[in-house]
Structure 1
Amino acid sequence: MPQLDSRIDEYIAKAQPFAQPILLHLREQIHRTCPDVKETIKWGMPHFEYKNEVLCSFAGFKNHCAFTFWKAALMKDTALLQNAREETSMGHLGPIKSIDDLPVRFTTLLQEAMLLNEQGIKLPRKTTSAQKECMLPPEFEQALRKNHRAWEVFDKFSYSHRKEYIEWITEAKTDATRQKRINQAVEWIADGKNRNWKYK
């Protein structure tokens, strides 16, 4: 039996209507290809672990879904490598707006990712942050880019400071709260403040 996490059920139920069948399909394909995969939530988004390491993750946004292979930088597909270098918020498969946007080789890519975990191959330290940061929410990125000072500061933040803001925004329960947090985050970041500046 698949090891399901009810938090992912809730995540999918709250996703945009167009995104729900895509996320359900991705979840089903992951479990079909890797029966021993374990589900969890990290940084507010569904992640899938295999052999005690993250295998992949997906997310639903306002206008598209994104899928990330945790070790895409070590995989053979040139498009994945390019996306990994660019740290794109669209994920390693580009923007997914329907099931038809998924590559026909999706299962093969999953199997390659599984093999990397089975062999215990690790990402180089400098690419680990790039992999994690590729899921920067598009709405947050757009707001940051509109404020030159905020984008400049955020770009120089340590990985942990970036993660704190991303988690705070992605864990918002409603779109209104999410937008409020984005606005507040941009204001604080423009002032050079990290997420927990009030407590320091």
Structure 2
Amino acid sequence: MNPEVDQYLDIGCGRCPLGGTPDCKVNDWQEELKQLRLIILESGLKEEVKWSVPCYTYQDNNVLILSAFKNYCSVSFFKGSLLKDPHDIMVKPGKNSQAARLLKYTSVDEITDTEHILKEYIKEAIEIEKAGKKVHFRKNPEPIPDELQAKFDEDPVLQEAFEALTPGRQRGYIIHFSGAKQSSTRQRRIEKCIPKIMGGKGFHDY
């Protein structure tokens, strides 16, 4: 076990103002996150912390991340769109997500009852990495600014948090970012809004 993940479970990711406080979303899913962590570790994946959240890798390739949200905690597969999903339980973080797929959990009992499925999916995800398979991306139909897409490419946790927002909140941010004429201004606007996005809030929320 990586001690940095223990720290995450204690105080959260620290990427929004709620980190280290009783209102941090990690506190709502302590038992679920701990149980999911143990199941994932049984697979032999390496436990790391990337983008301030638990990330599990195979030979330096990202396979999945463990995250806490307001209404659920999740196991998110980086190449989830390549998984067969015979149980039809994986969901997209957002309607335009092309690679990532989530397994959402809201109770310890749910995790226990479906543990064998999670292990099955993790095993397949590892085989995908062994085979060197890639996700073939199509052009995103949404007018996402290049600067925001670049931020998503370097920080998939931010993309997951953004895509978990309602369509209206996503649109509000995109309009705000795209309204700047200069790329440097768009970048500054994005950086300033990251804590709110990570906190599940819209641009006009307080």
Using structure 1 for the length normalisation, give the TM-score: 0.62
AA aligned opposite 2:59: K
Post-superposition offset of 1:165: 4.3
Given the alignment of the two structures, is residue 150 of structure 1 paired with residue 176 of structure 2, yes or no?
no
Q: 1:83 aligns with which of 92, 100, 106?
A: 92
Post-superposition offset of 1:126: 4.4
> 1:19-30 alignment to 2 at 5 Å?
19-30=29-40
1:112 aligned residue: 124
1:61 aligned residue: 69
Runs of 5+ consecutive residues of structure 1 not aligned to the other structure? 173-177, 188-200
Higher helix share: 1
Can you list the C-alpha shifts for 1:173-199, whole angstroms capped at 9, x where unaligned? xxxxx58xx67xx37xxxxxxxxxxxx
SS at match of 1:150: helix
SS at match of 2:70: coil
SS at match of 2:161: coil
Given the alignment of the two structures, is residue 14 of structure 1 paired with residue 24 of structure 2, yes or no?
no
SS at match of 2:102: coil
Runs of 5+ consecutive residues of structure 2 not aligned to the other structure? 13-25, 140-148
Percentage of identical aligned residues: 19
Given the alignment of the two structures, is residue 42 of structure 1 paired with residue 54 of structure 2, yes or no?
no
Post-superposition offset of 1:83: 2.2
Can you list the C-alpha shifts for 1:78-117, whole angstroms capped at 9, x where unaligned? 63665267339x96113x2112333341111110001011
- The count of aligned residue pairs is 167
Can you list the C-alpha shifts for 1:47-66, whole angstroms capped at 9, x where unaligned? 11112211111111233212
Can you list the C-alpha shifts for 1:97-140, whole angstroms capped at 9, x where unaligned? 112333341111110001011112122244996993652168x8
AA aligned opposite 1:65: C
Whether the 8 Å CA contact 1:91–1:135 is kept in 2: the answer is: no
AA aligned opposite 1:113: A
Given the alignment of the two structures, is residue 136 of structure 1 paired with residue 161 of structure 2, yes or no?
yes
- Pairwise CA RMSD: 4.4
Whether the 8 Å CA contact 1:80–1:93 is kept in 2: the answer is: yes
Using structure 2 for the length normalisation, give the TM-score: 0.61
AA aligned opposite 1:76: K
Q: 1:169 aligns with which of 161, 186, 195?
A: 195
Whether the 8 Å CA contact 1:66–1:91 is kept in 2: the answer is: no
For 2:79 and 2:57, locate their aligned partners in 1 and report how far apart those are by CA, in whole Å.
12
Given the alignment of the two structures, is residue 97 of structure 1 paired with residue 97 of structure 2, yes or no?
no
Post-superposition offset of 1:155: 8.5
AA aligned opposite 1:69: F
AA aligned opposite 2:126: M
Q: 1:71 aligns with which of 79, 104, 108?
A: 79
Residues 70 and 80 (structure 1), Cα distance of their counterparts in 2 relative to 1, 3 Å cut: farther
Residues 9 and 69 (structure 1), Cα distance of their counterparts in 2 relative to 1, 3 Å cut: same
Post-superposition offset of 1:150: 2.7
